[in-house]
């Protein structure tokens, strides 16, 4: 045995006290434990292990700072004790500092009096595989390892999984199995570790060895079943389909297994898929696989296969009369020539049944324009017949015979379908007029109002859209979907307060605010939409606050997996656990996170380029807060004194509530602080969330390193291959400003692969080359070579940037975004403003297709360069986009809004 | 199609929902297009009372709200009268038997209602509205007189008063 350092050794009395202390901690008798520790420390105040144990106990009792202090002191006093390192690791794990915790665990194992400390290359087990010989000699010692060492190893394995250090994980799991081969989960743990590390062959060998060792497994054991499924999954991944099938046949009877394995073709697979279709005839995937087993790809059926495929689908339809799925697939497979009769049956029966999603269902067929035209002809034909109050000629016979009483609802759903159809193909005015007939016909169907909102949104009338969707909400106050939609449309329209009131109808009544509750509930929709709404209105600090709240949610998602590293092994839920791990690996690529990371980075870049923006936001910001659309509306509507009083009262009440809650929270924490000194209450080791000291995002706004913050938001996305141009533009914008030219040029290379001709890429290439040429040649040479080579392939050096820009404009002179890109290019090259304006106004050329969003971007570009012609452009857009309201001034908007609301209240006021 | 067959076809497509704070918006919307009158907030709070739940309904056809029927209970001389406040079906859904079916359902509910017992049902119809008068007469109502000047803001201002006694179910008439 290693000689115990003298200052660690305790006399027998204290030594037994220390053992008692460990026991008390294990059984969470915190108060007693603390007393015992104090007893030892009275005589040996420098005893590191005791100090650490006391620190650990104090942390459990909620005195984190004091505890941490003691633990650190303990570690310093006894650097070679495994106990102090273990304790330190536990604390770090509680703070979710997984890297440091793992280091402490490794230290703990190094100094453990068991096997590892004695083996000459002990630390290397963390980075390379052990020799079998070495392990054989260790195994004898293993028996002497106590439970605590096992715990350290297991915890270390969890940390390694969390950190995705799979090489080390294999070693840890291997050691655990060697030490305790009688534990089933150690076998699975090792197989999983090999699997995660990409070594399927070893994973399979471990499983087979384990299965051989099993005796007397009860029938229908769910754990055993999942393990076998896992075994099959490995075989499948290794493409050993025959072995996999044999294993399945002999071991399992569950149908669920079939759907993964029927991948190899042949009659058996075909039969398996038939069975599955019969079980769930609405699963489209089963049909695809069924046909794949016959070497037919349903999404791309070729002419020679067409007739036979249709016949098979008809057979399946006859065998499963209660499903529409094969009929829908027929519509996809059939050629345009044979489409009409099939579509007629499908559409008429859908409209007669009143299937609200019929259009969404049909939409994907529109890729074939001929089919789209046929759908339009058919449904518009129905409309005309129904308006003459008779059934269409082509309507399937059995339906005609049934009854004529469905006519009004069929007519209604026909109008609804047509409105969606025409809006989808860009004929919004026609869609709106169909919709208004439908609303006159039946004003009580919420779908009509939400669709009206959606169409108004598409034409850029966000206020009108929010009024329409709110109409739908008022029809059914219980409908959470309508509530959320309505509130979201209000946010889009800039009515932030109204939106919060609407959200508030469904949030917890005792929450500080609807927003606080929605954040607690991790509502990504609310956070992103309200962040965007604030950003549009220039309240950048609130926007940043919301975007960072989204990041916090994703950090929580990432932390949440930790518990499953242990749990899933114990419970043998292996397959779903593997799915979880791969989901977590892709976690950050969630669209909501990408959106928030990009938006926040854009704000940070803006703040960096334009530091005075902070002052603007803050000084006018205060006024801005009270000058949003809500306020403009109330100002213009001449809010009566009474209403104003009410609003003030409400604000005061909210404030009071907030203060009360603060007080209550403070009282609670004081109370708990008071009680912890007397009770045993275990608060655990996890860091409790800290109080938010920046509720308005002012600190985020005024942060001295906006680019570092932006980079932190973007960096989780870099290792995932994400095909989002805006992401790579943001990465470039941040990297180039931080002087990270390699990262910058890489981002542009990624972007060029996605869309070589994109205007935003053009602008950045210009920007980068101009900047690079102006750099004093101070880049270290390897970087300089890489960057200039890459730059060379991205943007030719054969012409001047001015010529390059002019050429780009010439080649894309009918593309509005490209025109804007070229104008921006001119701005970068320092051209005079009137020249830039001349180019920008080219977007109004009637030959140029000008989408609404681009028009908005052009307008904000003109404002950015302080163009005196910005208003001229705005007025032109107001004419072009006559249905839209985005080019109106806030005052105009507010008046429109009030007028619209006014018309709603214009019915004569008579009592019964 | 015979009338009994028609009634059968209708009853399978028509359903009713009790009024709650949450679907009141639909009632408001229907009232705004069905009647030339804007009803007071008092009206909307009264139709939510638990005692009239059987007599205040939204009427659905193929799962779409197409009509409404609302009553209140009045007590005069220790007799409980059911007063039909509003009844209406959206224009495109008329003549399908929905109104008749709904009227039957309400009359049936009045017959079986015990707390309180209903003795009579009555209502007002604008004197110009012959169609409505005929509709109620088909359902056993009789005109008992004209209330001149009943409507204050629409013309003609006169209203028929139509009424019908509610016969309690046989066997229950033991007092």
Catalytic hit among B81, B122, B124, B136: B124
**Is residue A95 scored above 70 in pLDDT?**
yes
Q: Does B155 touch chain A (CB under 8 A)?
A: no
> Do B39 and A911 contact (CB within 8 A), yes or no?
yes
Q: Write the ipTM.
A: 0.91
Residues A530-549, mean pLDDT to the nearest whole number: 93
Reported as a single tens digit per residue, the pLDDT across B95-113 is 899 999 999 999 999 998 8
Helix then strand then coil, % of chain A, to nearest 5: 75, 0, 25
Residues forming a β-bridge with B60: B15, B65
Test the A interface: residue of B31, B71, B72, B90 with most A CBs within 10 Å = B90
**How many CB atoms sit inside 10 A of residue A671's CB?**
10
The DSSP 8-state label assigned to residue A302 in this structure reads -
Q: How far apart are CA B12 and CA B132, in angstroms?
A: 25
- Unique residue bearing structure tokens 């083996």: A119
Tell me if residue B60 is catalytic. Answer: no
Mapped onto helix, strand or coil, the DSSP state of residue B129 is coil
**Is residue A122 scored above 60 in pLDDT?**
no
Q: How many inter-chain contacts (A to B, CB under 8 Å) are there?
A: 88
Least confident of A26-35, A305-314, A729-738: A26-35
**Is residue A138 scored above 50 in pLDDT?**
no
Distance of CA A90 to the CA centre of its chain: 30
Reported as a single tens digit per residue, the pLDDT across A596-624 is 999 999 999 999 998 888 887 777 544 44
Residues B68-92, mean pLDDT to the nearest whole number: 92
Distance of CA A308 to the CA centre of its chain: 43
> Do A683 and A62 contact (CB within 8 A), yes or no?
yes
Q: Which of A473, A477, A908 sits opposite B38 (nearest CB)?
A: A908
**Strand B120-126 relative to strand B79-89: parallel, antiparallel, unpaired?**
parallel
Tell me if residue B81 is catalytic. Answer: no
Residues of B in contact with A473 (CB under 8 A): 25
Q: How far apart are CA B93 and CA B112, in angstroms?
A: 28
**Is residue A398 scored above 50 in pLDDT?**
no
Residues of A in contact with B99 (CB under 8 A): none
Mapped onto helix, strand or coil, the DSSP state of residue A813 is coil
Reported as a single tens digit per residue, the pLDDT across B20-35 is 999 999 999 999 999 9
Residues of A in contact with B19 (CB under 8 A): none
What does the pLDDT read at residue A258? 47
Q: Mean pLDDT in chain A?
A: 84
What does the pLDDT read at residue A904? 43
Residues A475-498, mean pLDDT to the nearest whole number: 94
Reported as a single tens digit per residue, the pLDDT across A248-298 is 777 655 444 444 444 454 567 788 888 888 888 999 999 998 998 888 899
The nearest CA of chain B is from the CA of A412 a distance in Å of 10
Ranges of H-type helices in A684-829: 698-701, 706-718, 725-737, 741-754, 759-774, 781-794, 801-811, 816-828
Band of pLDDT at residue A128, cut at 50, 70 and 90? very low
- Unique residue bearing structure tokens 């294999």: A170
Q: How far apart are CA A853 and CA A734, in angstroms?
A: 24
Most confident of A669-678, A739-748, A790-799: A739-748
Residues A581-594, mean pLDDT to the nearest whole number: 95
Q: How far apart are CA A540 and CA A492, in angstroms?
A: 16
Reported as a single tens digit per residue, the pLDDT across A765-822 is 999 999 888 887 667 778 888 888 888 888 888 889 999 999 999 999 999 999 999 9
Inspect the interface and report whether the beta carbons of B62 and A409 lie closer than 8 Å: yes
Mapped onto helix, strand or coil, the DSSP state of residue B141 is coil
Inspect the interface and report whether the beta carbons of B25 and A910 lie closer than 8 Å: no
Mapped onto helix, strand or coil, the DSSP state of residue A3 is coil
Determine phi and psi for B135, rounding to 5 degrees: -55, -50
Q: How far apart are CA A862 and CA A836, in angstroms?
A: 9
pTM confidence score: 0.84
What does the pLDDT read at residue B60? 97
């Amino acid at each position: 045995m290693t000689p115990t350092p003298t200052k660690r050794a305790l006399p027998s009395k204290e030594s037994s006290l220390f053992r008692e202390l460990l026991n008390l901690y294990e059984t969470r008798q915190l108060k007693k434990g603390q007393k015992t520790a104090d007893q030892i420390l009275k005589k040996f105040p420098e005893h590191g292990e005791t100090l650490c144990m006391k620190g650990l106990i104090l942390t459990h009792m909620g005195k984190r700072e004091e505890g941490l202090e003691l633990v650190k002191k303990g570690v310093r006093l006894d650097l070679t004790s495994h106990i102090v390192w273990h304790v330190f690791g536990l604390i770090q794990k509680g703070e979710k500092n997984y890297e440091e915790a793992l280091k402490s665990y490794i230290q703990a194992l190094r100094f453990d009096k068991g096997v590892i400390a004695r083996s000459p290359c002990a630390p290397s087990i963390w980075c390379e595989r052990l020799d079998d010989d070495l392990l054989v000699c260790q195994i004898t010692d293993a028996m002497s390892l106590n439970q605590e060492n096992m715990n350290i190893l297991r915890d270390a394995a969890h940390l390694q999984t969390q950190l995705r250090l799979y090489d080390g994980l294999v070693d840890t799991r291997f050691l655990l199995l060697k030490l305790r081969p009688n534990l089933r989960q150690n076998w699975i743990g090792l197989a999983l570790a090999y699997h995660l590390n990409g070594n399927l062959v070893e994973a399979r060998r471990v499983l087979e060895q384990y299965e051989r060792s099993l005796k007397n497994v009860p029938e229908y054991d769910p754990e055993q079943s999942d393990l076998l499924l896992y075994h099959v999954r490995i075989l499948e991944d290794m493409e050993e389909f025959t072995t996999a099938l044999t294993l399945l046949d002999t071991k399992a009877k569950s149908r669920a297994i079939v759907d993964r394995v029927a991948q190899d073709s042949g009659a058996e697979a075909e039969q398996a898929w038939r069975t599955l279709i019969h079980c769930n005839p609405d699963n489209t995937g089963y049909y695809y696989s069924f046909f794949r087993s016959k070497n037919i790809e349903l999404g791309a059926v070729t002419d020679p296969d067409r007739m036979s495929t249709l016949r098979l689908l008809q057979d399946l339809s006859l065998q499963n009369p209660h499903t529409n799925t094969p009929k829908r697939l027929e519509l996809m497979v059939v050629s345009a020539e044979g489409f009409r009769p099939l579509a007629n049956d499908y559409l008429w029966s859908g409209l007669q049944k009143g299937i609200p999603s019929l259009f969404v269902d049909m939409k994907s067929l529109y890729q074939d324009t001929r089919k789209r035209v046929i759908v339009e002809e058919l449904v518009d034909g129905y409309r005309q017949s129904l308006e003459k109050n008779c059934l269409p000629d082509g309507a399937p016979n059995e339906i005609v015979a049934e009854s004529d009483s469905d006519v009004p609802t069929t007519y209604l759903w026909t109008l609804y379908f047509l409105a969606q159809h025409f809006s989808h193909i860009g004929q919004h005015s026609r869609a709106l007029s169909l919709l208004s007939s439908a609303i006159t016909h039946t004003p009580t169907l919420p779908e009509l109002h939400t669709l009206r909102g959606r169409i108004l949104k598409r034409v850029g009338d966000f206020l009108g859209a929010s009024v329409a969707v709110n109409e739908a909400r008022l029809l059914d106050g219980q409908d959470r979907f309508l509530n959320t939609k309505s509130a979201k449309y209000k946010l889009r329209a800039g009515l932030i307060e109204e939106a919060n009131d609407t959200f508030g109808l469904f949030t917890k009544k005792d929450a500080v605010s609807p927003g606080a509750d929605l954040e607690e509930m991790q509502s990504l929709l609310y956070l992103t939409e309200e962040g965007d709404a604030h950003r549009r209105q220039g309240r950048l600090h609130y926007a940043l606050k919301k975007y960072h709240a989204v990041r916090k949610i994703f950090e929580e998602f990432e932390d949440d997996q930790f518990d499953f590293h242990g749990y899933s092994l114990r419970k043998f839920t292996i397959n779903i656990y593997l799915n979880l791990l791969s989901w977590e690996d892709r976690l950050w690529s969630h669209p909501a996170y990408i959106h928030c990371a990009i938006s926040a980075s854009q704000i940070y870049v803006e703040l960096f380029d334009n530091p005075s923006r902070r002052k603007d936001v803050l000084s006018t910001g205060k006024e801005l807060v009270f000058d949003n659309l809500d306020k403009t509306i109330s100002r213009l509507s001449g809010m009566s004194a009474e209403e104003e009083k009410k609003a003030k009262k409400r604000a005061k009440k909210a404030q009071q509530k907030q203060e009360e809650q603060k007080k209550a929270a403070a009282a609670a924490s004081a109370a708990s602080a008071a009680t912890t000194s007397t009770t045993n209450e275990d608060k655990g080791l996890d860091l409790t969330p800290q109080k938010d000291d920046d509720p308005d995002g002012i600190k985020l706004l005024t942060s001295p390193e906006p680019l570092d913050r932006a980079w932190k938001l973007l960096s989780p996305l870099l290792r995932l291959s994400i095909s989002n141009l805006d992401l790579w533009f943001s990465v470039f914008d941040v990297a180039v400003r931080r002087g990270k030219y390699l990262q910058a040029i890489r981002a542009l290379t990624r972007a060029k692969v996605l869309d070589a001709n994109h205007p935003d890429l053009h602008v950045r290439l210009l920007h980068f080359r101009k900047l690079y040429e102006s750099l004093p040649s101070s880049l270290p040479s390897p970087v300089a070579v890489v960057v200039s080579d890459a730059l060379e392939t991205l943007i030719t050096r054969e012409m001047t940037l001015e010529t390059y820009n002019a050429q780009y404009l010439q080649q894309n002179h009918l593309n509005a975004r490209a025109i804007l890109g070229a104008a921006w290019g001119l701005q970068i090259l320092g051209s005079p403003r009137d020249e830039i304006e001349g180019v920008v106004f080219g977007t109004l050329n009637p030959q140029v297709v000008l989408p609404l969003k681009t028009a908005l971007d052009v307008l904000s570009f003109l404002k950015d360069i302080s163009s005196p012609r910005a208003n001229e452009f705005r007025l032109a857009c107001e004419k072009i986009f006559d249905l839209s309201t985005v080019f109106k001034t806030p005052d105009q908007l507010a008046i429109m809004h009030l007028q619209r609301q006014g018309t709603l209240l214009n019915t004569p006021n008579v009592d019964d | 199609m015979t009338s009994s067959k028609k009634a059968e076809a209708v009853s399978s497509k028509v359903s009713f929902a009790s009024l709650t704070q949450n679907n009141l918006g639909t009632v408001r919307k229907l009232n705004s297009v069905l009647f030339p009158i804007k009803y007071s907030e008092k009206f909307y709070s009264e139709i939510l009372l638990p005692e009239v739940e059987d007599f205040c309904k939204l009427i659905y056809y193929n799962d779409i709200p197409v009509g409404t029927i609302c009553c209140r209970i009045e007590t005069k001389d220790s007799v409980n009268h059911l007063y039909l406040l509003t009844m209406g079906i959206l224009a495109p859904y008329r003549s399908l038997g929905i109104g008749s079916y709904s009227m039957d359902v309400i009359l049936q509910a009045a017959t079986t209602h015990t707390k309180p017992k209903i003795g009579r049902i009555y209502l007002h119809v604008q004197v110009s509205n012959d169609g409505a008068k005929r509709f109620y007469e088909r359902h056993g109502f009789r005109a008992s007189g004209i209330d001149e000047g009943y409507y204050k803001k629409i013309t003609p201002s006169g209203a028929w008063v139509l009424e019908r006694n509610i016969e309690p179910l046989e066997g229950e008439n033991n007092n």
